[in-house]
């Protein structure tokens, strides 16, 4: 593919042998485009870090191929690959100052001193740490150390930057700040970023595209809005944000829920008449106050800007509605009250198995 930065073609990775074999990756094929921020998202043990390590050269595929552009790098050692990796731990050299840490890779590659100084100055400006050039790592905050690690990885201008959960050690507020900072850095440098995380908010915030993984397989690839609004199966719907899962059977082009209610669904995904189907609808796509459906309020949870209202339908299926909290903070829905509700047109999705 002409605009591909990285490609995996039927890549598999196995550890062990016989009845103790572990299949970390299972015939994965994926194309990551040049200049995009691509995120591998999934729970621990899903294979996302293994795939990153295959790209970096820290592991070799058991079968299949890894390409960088149009070059087969499957058996190439890490130091020959034009990629850099940022890890969870910052791995800064404590005896070197910030500028020396950032320029370390350039110096080891024999770059002229003037060029090293020029690149270091540009990288420190990029991560907004010019005033900290002479400090040692232990004199920096966690967020500042992470920026130094990023600057060091970006200094040699790699074709691809690999990021293995680099924000996991930061507190919530700083992590959110660094999410925006990473996206800014990727946009300004134009370098392809491949980011690994189990945090779906990080993935939705930063990514141009996301690959959702489970059990060594990529289940769905798409932009954040596509992944969130059009999940292909129950795992993706559950893993990306919050969702209501409903069961029913197709009937006359609609779906009869367990509660007995008949609801319209735009696309039944080819399900036959009378077939059992699983539906997904996001909490913010539930409208309380009018509609053909009814539920009993079992709980309301206040989250500041939002309030979540938990409803029980006739068959005891729970539906959560997310509403914007009024200035008073009280949405006026008491526990035990029966309310009418409906789903936004086109919001209900039929999921694959």
The counts of H helices and E strands in the chain are 8, 19
Q: Where are the domains of the chain?
A: 4-234, 243-351
Confidence of residue 318 (pLDDT cuts 50, 70, 90): very high
Q: Quick check: helix, strand or coil at residue 197?
A: strand
The CA distance from 14 to 171, in Å, is 35
Q: What is the pLDDT of residues 220-241, one digit of tens each?
A: 999 999 999 999 999 999 999 8
When mean pLDDT is compared across 199-213, 244-258, 317-331, the lowest value belongs to 317-331
- Please give the share of the chain, as a percent, with pLDDT higher than 90: 74
Note the CATH number of domain 4-234: 3.40.50.300
Q: Are 41 and 213 in contact (CB under 8 A)?
A: yes
Question: Is the model's pTM score more than 0.85?
Answer: yes
Which three-class secondary structure string do you get for 273-284? Answer: CCCEEEEEECHH
Which fold does the domain 243-351 belong to in CATH? OB fold (Dihydrolipoamide Acetyltransferase, E2P) (2.40.50)
Lowest mean pLDDT among 273-277, 311-315, 330-334: 330-334
């Amino acid at each position: 593919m002409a605009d591909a930065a990285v490609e995996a073609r039927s890549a598999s990775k196995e550890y062990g042998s016989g009845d103790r074999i572990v299949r970390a990756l299972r015939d994965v094929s994926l194309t990551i485009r040049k200049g995009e921020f691509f995120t591998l998202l999934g729970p621990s043990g899903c294979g996302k870090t293994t795939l990153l390590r295959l790209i970096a050269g820290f592991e070799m595929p058991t079968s299949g191929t890894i390409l960088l552009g149009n070059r087969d790098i499957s058996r190439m050692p890490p130091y020959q690959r034009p990629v850099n990796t940022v890890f969870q731990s910052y791995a800064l050299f404590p005896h070197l100052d910030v500028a020396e840490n950032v320029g370390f890779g350039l110096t080891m590659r024999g770059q002229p001193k003037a060029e090293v100084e020029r690149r270091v100055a540009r990288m420190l400006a990029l991560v907004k740490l010019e005033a900290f050039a002479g400090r040692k790592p232990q004199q920096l905050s966690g967020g500042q150390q992470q920026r130094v690690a990023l600057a060091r990885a970006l200094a040699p201008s790699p074709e691809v930057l690999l990021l293995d959960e680099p924000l996991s050690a930061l507190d919530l507020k700083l992590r959110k700040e660094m999410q925006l900072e990473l996206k800014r850095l990727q946009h300004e440098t134009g370098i392809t970023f491949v980011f690994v995380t189990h945090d779906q908010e990080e993935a939705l915030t930063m990514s141009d595209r996301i690959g959702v993984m489970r059990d060594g397989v990529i289940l769905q690839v798409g932009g954040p809005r596509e992944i969130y609004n059009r999940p292909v199966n129950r795992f993706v719907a559950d893993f990306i944000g919050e969702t209501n899962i409903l069961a029913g059977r197709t009937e006359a082009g609609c779906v009869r829920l367990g509660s007995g209610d008949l609801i319209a669904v735009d696309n039944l995904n080819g399900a036959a008449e009378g077939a059992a189907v699983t539906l997904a609808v996001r909490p913010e796509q539930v409208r309380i106050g009018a509609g053909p459906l009814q539920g009993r309020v079992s709980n309301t949870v206040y989250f500041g800007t939002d309030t979540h209202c938990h409803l029980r339908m006739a068959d005891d299926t729970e539906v959560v509605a997310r509403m914007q909290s009024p200035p008073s903070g009280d949405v006026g829905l008491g526990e035990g009250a029966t309310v009418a509700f409906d789903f936004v047109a086109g919001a209900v999705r039929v999921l694959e198995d």
